[in-house]
Structure 1
Amino acid sequence: MEQKLKNGRQLRPVDLARGHGLSTQAVRNYEEAGILPAADRTPHGYRTYTPLHAQALRTFLALVPGHGHQTATSIMRAVNQGAVDEAFRLIDESHAQLLDDRRTLQAVENALRDLEPGTAAEPGSGGTFIGPLANRLGLRPATLRKWENAGLVRPRRDPRTGYRVYDEADVRDVRLVHQLRRGGYLLEQIAPLIAQVRAAGGLEPLEATLRGWHGRLSARGRAMLAGAAELEAYLRECE
């Protein structure tokens, strides 16, 4: 890489910055972070960059949408330090995370599809108690209390008896947690999914959230392809 840096034409920090809508300070920060190779200096101490630095910057900016800023930084540092295998490992981890996110989305969709209608508390009935609900789902009351302690279910209390009362939304949440637990998901993995159901206002409004989730995963996958193309070009330049 050192010979490549010497052979390239000289570029100023502003030359790199302008093409990407960045400040010259951002370019300097990227160099200090190891995202760009170290720049040569003029006798007066000014940084001089080369087309290799420009390709490094393009590569980093292409990696960020798919892998995130932190991982993209680590990938570029590894490449610039000659640890290409470490860069590939980081990329593999990102792809594994994307696959895991796709599986989570599929599990949520399967769980929602498996929720049979007509099993929630009847509207206006005042809800159902923990014993009948646990019995209906083949669960122990202790399991429902555990899910409540984890924040997954939030039944109200009857003001006269202090008993837990599960309304329609609570029964929905219980059944969704039940489906996801049967799919092998941990409580801490389920919590943000239940929060999304509540934020959406139910299962039907959640469909738009799921479509958006699909879109974001597809965008990440495509961004990873774009980042891979730029990284391959950078690796060829570094040879």
Structure 2
Amino acid sequence: MRTTDVARESGYSAQQVRDLERLGVIPAARRSGNGYRSYTPLHVRALRAYRALATATGPVEARRLLAELRTATVTEAASAVDEVHARLARERAEVLRAQRALEGIRAEEAGGDDDFMTITQLAQALGVRSSTLRFWEEEGLVRPERVTTLRARRYGLAAIRAARVVVALRAGGYGIPAVREVMAALDGADGLEDARRILRERLDRIAARSVALLRAGTDLAAVVDATRGTPEPPA
């Protein structure tokens, strides 16, 4: 296959095919006597797998994974792909956990309880360091009350609930700016619905990545089989 043939079949431009070959996404093409590249249907499969993997994991991780699969045993290859599925499942679970915490914030506020916790107690309850809570305070994510005479922090129910949401979001892969967006939404007139929307959008993105990973499956199997001399199925 010529470079233009591979480009047409894979959905990339001819220059992108050459660039991805240079980056090691696909094996080096054989060169004919006149220097032209000669590809096989396996290169097309590798490129299609890369496109889907780049959606699922990001381009850097996709390049690393494809290079690994070309030299891995079947067991190692299956384990590597399973880990991507597991990572997406963990991200999804953390966002769902954040959603539950978000709903709990309003439900508990209706109770009007006056309980509070010290910074040490809250850190232990959340499984984070006290320094982490102080950092979140600096970033405006969690606002403790202060006992003025002692300069000691204490956290009422609203701050405790906010801290739970922050923990869930951070564990789910949210950076500080994204967490700040969610927490700011909680303070607005439509805060709860805005925060729900942000989390729903996150779940939608994870779902799209999961589907992309499924789409890569057959092409990834062809790449793995090729390393073991298994006959290549039609592209």
Matched residue, 1:153 = 142
Structure 1 residue 136 corresponds to structure 2 residue 115: yes
Maintained 8 Å contact 1:180/1:190? no
List alignment gaps of at least 5 residues for structure 1.
1-10, 121-132
Structure 2 residue 184 is the aligned partner of structure 1 residue 195:
no
Give 1:140's aligned amino acid. T
In structure 1, the residue matched to 2:218 is 229
What do the CA deviations read for 1:14-33 (whole angstroms, capped 9, x no partner)? 22223444332321222222
Post-superposition offset of 1:85? 3.6
Of 74, 84, 95, the residue aligned with 2:64 is 74
The offset of 1:41, in angstroms, is 0.6
Q: Does residue 1:207 correspond to 2:192, yes or no?
A: no
Using a 3 Å threshold, how does the CA distance of structure 1 residues 69 and 217 change in structure 2: closer, same or farther?
Answer: same
The RMSD of aligned alpha carbons is: 3.9
Larger-gyration structure (1/2): 1
Query: In the comparison of the two structures, how many residue pairs are matched?
Result: 210
Deviations 1:79-107 (A, max 9, x none): 32354443323212211211111221121
Alignment match, 1:35: 25
TM-score under structure 2 normalisation?
0.70
Give unmatched runs, 5+ long, in structure 2: 123-129, 231-235
Once residues 215 and 102 of structure 1 are traced to their aligned partners in structure 2, the CA distance between those partners, rounded to angstroms, is: 10
Distance 1:198 1:229, change over 3 A: same
Aligned to 1:45: 35
Match of 2:98 in 1: 108
Structure 1 position 117 matched with structure 2 position 105: no
For residue 117 of structure 1, what is the amino acid of its counterpart? E
**Code of the aligned partner of 1:150:** F
Counterpart code for 1:72: A
Question: C-alpha separation between the residues in 2 aligned to 1:94 and 1:187?
Answer: 17
> Is the Cα–Cα contact under 8 Å of residues 55 and 212 in structure 2 kept in the other structure?
yes
Contact 1:102 1:217 in 2 (8 A): yes
Residue 179 and residue 153 in structure 1: after superposition, are their counterparts in 2 closer, same or farther (change >3 A)?
closer
Conservation of the 8 A alpha-carbon contact between 2:144 and 2:159: no
Indicate whether 1:220 and 2:209 are aligned: yes
Q: What does the per-residue CA deviation read over 1:179-209, in whole Å, with 9 as the maximum and x for residues that have no partner? A: 776x8x9889787474242243433311111
Q: Which amino acid in 2 is paired with 1:39? A: A
Percent identical pairs in the alignment equals 32
Tell me: CA distance 1:143–1:71, structure 2 relative to 1, closer, same or farther (3 Å).
same
Q: Which moved more, 1:171-180 or 1:59-68?
A: 171-180
117 and 153 in structure 1: CA distance in 2 versus 1, 3 angstrom threshold: closer
CA distance in structure 1 between the aligned counterparts of 2:61 and 2:100, rounded to whole angstroms: 31
1:174 equivalent to 2:160? Answer yes
State whether residues 147 and 153 of structure 1, in contact with CA within 8 Å, keep that contact through their aligned partners in structure 2: no
